[in-house]
Structure formats: C-alpha cells, structure tokens
Amino acid sequence: MAAPVSIPSSLLPLRVDGLIKRFGTLTAVNGITLELQSGECLGLLGPNGAGKSTLIRSIVGRVIPDAGLVTVFGDRADSTGARMALGWVPQELALYPKLTCRENLESFGQYHGLPHDALKTALEWCLDWAALTDRAQDPVKNLSGGMKRRLNMAAGLIHRPKVILMDEPTVGVDPQARNRIFEMIEQLRGEGVSMIYTTHYMEEAERLCDRIAIIDHGRIIAFGTKDELVRNAFASRSEVLARFAKVDDSVTIWVKDRGGVLENGMARFTIEHANEIAGLLDSASRAGHELADISLRKPNLESVFLHLTGRELRD
Amino acid sequence: MRTALIGLRRDRGALALSFILPIGFFSIFAVIFGGQRDTTPKISVLVVDEDHSAASQSLVRDLEREGSLRVKTKPEPKQGTEQPEYTAATAEAAVKAGTAPVALIIPHGFGENPISFGAPNPNQPTIQLLKDSSDMIAPQVVAGLLQKVAMTSMPDTMAEQGLKYMDQYAGGFTAEQKQKIDAGLEKLRKRESADQQAGSADSNRGMPIPVTTRDVVGENKNNKMVSFYAAAIGVMFLLFTASGAGGSLLDEAESGTLDRVLSTRVTMGTLLAGKLCFCVLLAFAQLVLMFTWAWLVFKVDFPGHIPGFVIMGISTAFAVGAFGMVLASICRTRAQLGPLSTLVILLMSSIGGSMFPRYFMSEAMQKAGLLTINAWAIDGFTKVFWRDEPISHLWPQVLVLLAIGVVLSAIARRLARRWEYS
C-alpha cells in the first residue's frame, strides 16, 4: 500500500515496514507498511478497534511489535534521536490534573531534556499555539474539555518535534472546540511539520490529510488521496441512498439482489448514470417496498469504507 | 441491598478490609496477649553474684528455676569461647546496650544478713536492681519475683531472721516488750509511709530482701516513652505516606500520563528512581517534623542527637520509600492500593512494635517483628534517643534497613516492567 520508496530512508520522516502486533489471539496490527513524506499529513481512518492506536503506540515505542521495523529519519524508533524527533498526542488526556498548564508543559519539556532557555521559548510558543496563555497559571482540573484537549496537544509538541503523531485529538469535544483544534493543526501544517493523524471522522480526514490510509482489522485496505480512494472504489459511479418506510427481511433480500448494502435502515446503491434511479424506484414499487426518502450523492470516504468493508465507519 | 452486596463482592479491597483485616488483627492481639503457655514472654535478667555466699548462690539458683525469667550470669559464648561472668560494670553496660532490661547485683556481705524486717540498716548491703526504664514491665516483675524467691526458697533464713526480729522487738511480751513492739511497728508504718512518698525507687527496701533500684538507661530523660513513640508512630505514618506517594505511579498509569512520560527520554528506571527519591525526602521530612515536635512539646533531646537521627532517618526513609514503590507496583489500580496498604501497614505496625512495645509480645512474635521495617527502625531510634549509644552501634539497624530498601527497590523495578511496554 505504501508509495514506492524513492527517497533515502534517512530523509523520510517516518517509515513503518511490515509491522505486526498481536495481543493473544487478536492481531491488532497485521503487516502494516507505510511511509510519511516530509511535510505531509497522513490520515489513518478506521473505526474503533481497527488498530490505529496500536499502530501509533508501536511507532512511539509504547508497544513492542512482534515483527516489523519503525524508523524515524532513518533511526530506529526507540533511539534517543527518534524520540526527540517524534511528538505524540495520545487519545487520552495524559496530563497532571493538579499542576497548572505551565507546570504541565514544563514537566514534559524537562522529560524531553530541553535546556532551560529552549524550554522557556517552547513553553511560550505552546501556550500561544494552544491559546492558553491567559490560563497558564490555572490548574488543569479547572479547564474546560476543549482547553484540556488543546493542552494535551501542546504537551506533545513542547520539544518542537519534526514528526507528530496525533491520536484522535478531537475525541469528546464540541464542534466549536473541534474547529479551534483544526486551526491549530493547520497552523502546524503551514510550518511544514510531518504528521500522522488518526480519526474515525471522515470529515476530519478529508479536511486535514493529504493522503489517507483506511485501516480495518489491523490492515491498510486502501491508501491514497481522497480522490484516489473514491475513484478506485467507485470510478465515475455515484451513490444512491434509499430509506424505506418499513424494513423487513424481504427488503433486505431485495436490496442485496440489487447489489446494494443495507445499513441502519438505509440502503446504498451505486449507479453509473442518474437515470438508473428510475429503474430502482420501479423495481421497489413492483416488489411492494414503500420508499420514504431517496437521494443521489457523490461517494465520499464513508462510502469508500462501506464499499470496502460492508460496515460503517462509526460502527 | 442487592446492589450493595454485589458492589462489596466485586470490591476485593473492601472485602479484605471488612473480613481479613479484623481477623488478622484479632489473631495478632490474641497471640500477643492471649497468654498461651508456650509463647509467654520470658524476661531476661542479668545476675551478678559478688558475694558467692551460700545464701546468694541459693538465691541465684532459685531465680534460675523461675519459669518467667531467663537468668544470665555471663554473656553468650563468642565463637565457641566461654565469656567471663558479668560484673557490676559489664552488667550495667549490657543493660544500657539493651541486652536485657534488668540486672541484679548481689553485693559483698549479702549472705551475712540476707533478709531483714523492719527499718533498713544503712550499713547492710542491698541488692541493686539496674533497669532500663523504657521497659515498664520487666523491672516490676523481677523485683516481685525476687521477693517471692526469698519467701519460698530460703525458709531457714526467713525463720532465723524472724527470730532475730522477735528477739529484737518482742522478748517476753512484758509491758516494756509491748512498748518495744509498738515502737517497732510504728517504725515500720513510718517506713512504709516514707517509701510511698519517696516513689518506687526505694519501695523494695522494706521487703524481706532490700533492693535498691536504679535507672541505668534514660535516667536523665524528661519523658521516658516519648522518644519511643515518636519513632514508633512516626514509622507507621511514614509507611502510609510512602504508599500514598508511590500511588502517584498508579495515578499516572491510569490516566495515561505514564505512557506519555515513557515515550520521552525518561526510562522506567529513571522514573522509579525519581519517585523513590521523592518518597525518601517526604518520609525524612516527616520524621524531622515528628522529632521537632517531640523536642518542642515533649522535651525529647532532638538537637543532641542530630547525627544519629540523620543516619537512622535516611535509612528508615529509604526502606519505607522502597516499600511504597513495591506496594504501588504490585497493585493494578489506586483503588487496590488503598485497602492493601492499610492491611499490610497495620499488620506490620502491630507486629513491629509501632502500636505497643515488642517486649509485651511473646518471643515468637518478637522474632516475627524483625521481619518488619518498623522493628528495625524503632530499635535504631531507641538506640539513638533512649540509650544514647554511639553512631557506630547503629550498624545492624542501618544495614538491615538499607538492605530492605535495596531488595524492595529491585522488586519494584522488576514489577514495574509491566508498565514499560505492551
């Protein structure tokens, strides 16, 4: 699934090669290979339990893989140089609740071995980037959910890494706070930072990522830009979404016979031309299935995932 | 009720506190105070016979027969070589060193007039009872048993002395004799009254065998048991503090902060070392506060014992710090740590002498106490503050506490491997 290697691995911000991680009988990561290009934002899109976080934790050295190799600018991921180059924003709020924002950032900066002056500069940058300068002296426990999320991100960037791994940074935040986080990430992208961004929100991947790897059951099942993914899955076909007034076994069979997928009462079909909709309507009517709603749309990443796995992203 | 029962069943910590801790404590107290025949504590008493008369030898022999006493007339053999018998000086030094809580010195001339009734004869040599007043029980028991032995094992002497007394004070019960008896009784009454006012030091002088009691340890202390309890209670709370501080590791593991820290340049070894240093500093600060309070409020001579305190304080803090790290490393969650630490610390404290002195306990329990940090720490602090022993005498306690700290640190490091990687 990875792009052909044409750049020396020492120049690649990140390379994952044949990574396998098993937990007992469960294979969480099953032979993933990928490369992160310089200045790129690579999205890992997949449902909960797909193996995204395990992949990230393997890269950051918190999980020992059963097989495979991770290199950061050519160094093994567990080397000191790689650790300094990597910044990890974990999915959970990994902060000290009794410490202030400033104290949290200072602590993580010291863990990374930042000298005093560099720490001071980085601290001010992080507070400014996360829009927390005026709350710098507040204990974390007194912050709102969105502020905690932003601080959580800032703590992963205190040592100003060249490669950032963001593991679902918008989990549990409201739309306004999410937009603020998007702006922060776009600022980083503007500075040329290389980034892996995991999410199970299609909109986030579409907005932020240059290329997207769709992950399911520990494997990359599709890889490319959004347009490439859609084109590879649907070519020039469009998607028809049909909602039935009543869903029973006969509807399920009818949808399947017509090459569609029924999910949560919604049937999805792909068509080459818009005039195929008439045929669908006629067939449903003759089978005695009353349609409550029908619409035509261009396929998106959600459609790609459904097309490839038969399941929705947020199952 | 159903939800409460289900909750209790699934909360192992609460279950342990509800059912195991009470049974554990009951068992410990039952063993300590239950009076089981084979575990009744014996009191060690050093006996020095300077008189070597028939009466003194008889007295020593009968003291040796007393089931409650372990009479020693000479130190234990060293490397198979018999040691010379105790002298008054070596026995006193041994009591000061804590070898035994009591020593009896039978003086020259004791056999000439071993038992007396009535007013003491200032020229009559009396047995000296040298005691370590940190043990409040042993001197009383030994003094009582000494009189009991005199009453039961020297009947001929008793009769002889009785006749002497009658001859001296009664004669033929004439008016003059009666007057003499009354005068004698009056003297006895006055003597008894004077003894009560003088306190316990001379209370044995009116007994058949006159005994002079002297504190050889702590005679100049303002408050006999305060330094003991400052150490005893201090160590117990140090253990609680250390387990709480060690618990921060669990907080970090549960919140995911530990993962983030370990993704930096910080290794698990460095992290544990840092946590251990914090625990040690915290524990030491707590000890400083405890003894400063004891000095200011209870007049314990803290400034006079700073070097010994620092050595014992650091050793103890290191051991309890490592103990806290082990507890935290064993537990999976903070919720597990609370009940487990309470259970272990209270058991250790009761066996190790933090709740009541170990000399109350049976020999077996006293030996079991040596498996605890409490016992070694209390022994060390007692040497410093009570016995005024030189720093060089602290090496057994310091060595054991440091060894405990090293072993527990190694165990904690081993257990913490589970956090290093998934």
d(CA A86, CA A219): 23
Q: What is the pLDDT of residue A201?
A: 86
For the stretch A224-274, pLDDT in tens is 998 899 888 888 888 888 888 888 888 888 888 888 888 878 888 888 887
What residues in B contact A64, CB-CB < 8 Å?
421-422
Sorting pLDDT into bands at 50, 70 and 90, what band is B167? low
Residue B399 and residue B271 in one domain: yes
Is B421 an 8 Å CB contact of chain A?
Answer: yes
Give the chain B residue whose CA is nearest to the CA of A61.
B263
Please, are residues A85 and A15 in contact by the beta-carbon 8 Å criterion?
no
Residue B410 lies in a domain: yes
The confidence score (pLDDT) of residue B158 equals 64
pLDDT, tens digit (0-9, with 9 covering 90-100), for B31-79: 666 655 555 568 889 999 988 888 888 888 888 888 888 889 888 888 7
- Structural tokens at position B304: 């006079």
Q: What is the pLDDT of residues B339-387, one digit of tens each?
A: 888 888 988 998 898 888 887 777 778 888 899 999 999 999 988 988 8
- How far A111 CA lies from chain B's nearest CA (Å)? 6
Q: Is B260 on the interface with A (CB under 8 A)?
A: yes
Could you tell me which chain B residue has the CA closest to the CA of A62?
A: B421
Using a CB-CB cut-off of 8 Å, the residues of chain B touching A108 are 260-261, 264
**Per-residue model confidence (pLDDT) at position B156:** 61
Q: What is the pLDDT of residue A89?
A: 94
Q: A52-90, pLDDT tens digit by residue?
A: 989 999 999 888 899 999 999 988 888 888 888 999 999
State residue B222's pLDDT score.
62
The percentage of chain A sitting over the pLDDT mark of 90, rounded to a whole number, equals: 48
Q: Is the pLDDT of residue B155 over 70?
A: no
**B323/B199 same-domain check:** no
Structural domains in chain A, CATH included, are 14-230 (3.40.50.300), 238-298 (3.30.70)
Q: Last residue of some domain: B192, B217, B242?
A: B217
- Assess whether pLDDT exceeds 50 at residue A4: no
Residue B401 counted as domain residue? yes
**Nearest by CB: B260 against A94, A97, A113:** A94
B194 and B209 belong to one structural domain = yes
B38 φ/ψ sector (left φ>0, alpha ψ -120 to 50, else beta): alpha
How does the average pLDDT of chain B come out, rounded? 81
Indicate whether A5 pLDDT > 60. no
Helices (H) and strands (E) in chain A, counts: 11, 14
Final residue of a structural domain among B217, B252, B277: B217
How far apart are the C-alpha atoms of A261 and A312, rounded to whole Å?
A: 11
Please tell me whether residues B228 and B206 are part of one structural domain.
Answer: no
Q: How confident is residue A193, by pLDDT bands cut at 50, 70 and 90? A: very high
pLDDT higher than threshold 60 for residue B204: no
The domain boundary, picked from B198, B217, B236, lies at B217
In a shared domain, residues B81 and B118: yes
Percent of chain B surpassing pLDDT 70:
79
Q: How confident is the model at residue B181 (pLDDT cuts 50, 70, 90)?
A: low
Per-residue pLDDT at B194: 62
* Residue B203 pLDDT grade (very low, low, confident, very high; cuts 50, 70, 90): very low
Do B265 and A60 make contact, defined as CB atoms within 8 angstroms? no
Nearest to B421 among A62, A112, A159 (CB): A62
SS3 B200: helix
Pair B180, B254 in one domain:
no
Higher pLDDT pick, A98 / B6: A98
- Does residue B129 sit within a domain? yes
Question: How far apart are alpha carbons A28 and A55 in whole angstroms?
Answer: 8
Report chain A residues whose CB lies below 8 A from the CB of B264. 83, 108, 111-113, 159
Residue A88: list chain B partners with CB under 8 A.
260, 263
| Cα of B249 vs its chain's centroid, Å | 35
Domain count, chain B: 2
Q: Confirm whether the ipTM is greater than 0.85.
A: no
Let me know: does B218 contact B386? Beta carbons within 8 Å.
yes
- B291-310 confidence digits (pLDDT tens): 998 889 888 889 989 999 99
Mutation target vs B (from A60, A62, A72; most B CBs, 10 A cutoff):
A62
Domain membership of residue B176 as a residue range? 39-217
C-alpha to C-alpha distance for A152 and A82, rounded to whole angstroms:
21
A80 and B263 in contact by Cβ < 8 A?
A: no
Q: Which residue of B has its CA nearest to A97?
A: B255
